[in-house]
Chain A
């Protein structure tokens, strides 16, 4: 399965600023996904990012707040814009599984964001 490197692993940011999270995959993948995991909770899909097209956002998430780039088949970024303490969460990227038997998603280790 793919190996994902996600940076930064954690950050503490001032409200009103923006943070860009990077996700690098060691193989080419068509679809990449960005999730948010609020403290003690489950994962919520933010958006799906395909190379060469605009990201598709889930209900409750908008491009102005969470702009996403997908410049090639191995890389994506998620920006959390104009941050507030409510944005404090773990942000995770993941990629589709591979192979004839679907192996499910592989996840990065996440970015733990604290907004103060």
Chain B
């Protein structure tokens, strides 16, 4: 079946460095992709999304890149801060954004 997975389960970066979190998806029919951040004891928080007709989208300190050829998604966080420490999930969704499938998650540690 379709699945969304992550290459790295944990990532440790130095404060101020850039972070890159990767994700692979398997359903080529998915047309909407989302990154979420989940802090301990909280629900996932929407970070940024991208539709399949785009290959890059930028937000505040975050950039999502989509490579449909190899079904790869990445989240780049610029100037990583201690507050960025969390688990990050990629997710894919069908048209309209329903029935989201979540990846396994990557835990980001930011070292001061």
Contacts and interface: CB of A to CB of B under 8 A. Distances in A.
B58 interface: no
A116 B78 CA distance: 44
B102 interface: yes
A45 interface: yes
Given A43-B102, A103-B46, A97 B97 contact: yes
Interface string B27-67: 00000101010000111111001000000000000000000
A110 B44 CA distance: 9
Chain A interface extent, by class: 20 to 34
A41 interface: yes
Nearest to A97: B97
Contacts, number: 54
A83 B46 CA distance: 31
A109 B43 contact: yes
Contacts of A6: 43
B49 to A, nearest CB: 5
Interface in B75-112: 89, 97-105
Residue among A4, A41, A43 with the highest chain B CB neighbour number at 10 A: A43
Interface of A: 1, 4, 6, 31, 33, 41-45, 48, 92, 94, 96-97, 102-110
Given A96-B97, A107-B43, A110-B42, 7 more contacts: A42-B89, A42-B102, A42-B104, A43-B102, A96-B98, A97-B46, A102-B97
20 contacts: A1-B46, A42-B102, A42-B103, A43-B44, A43-B89, A43-B102, A48-B98, A48-B99, A96-B97, A103-B49, A104-B34, A104-B36, A105-B34, A105-B97, A105-B100, A107-B43, A107-B44, A109-B42, A110-B42, A110-B43
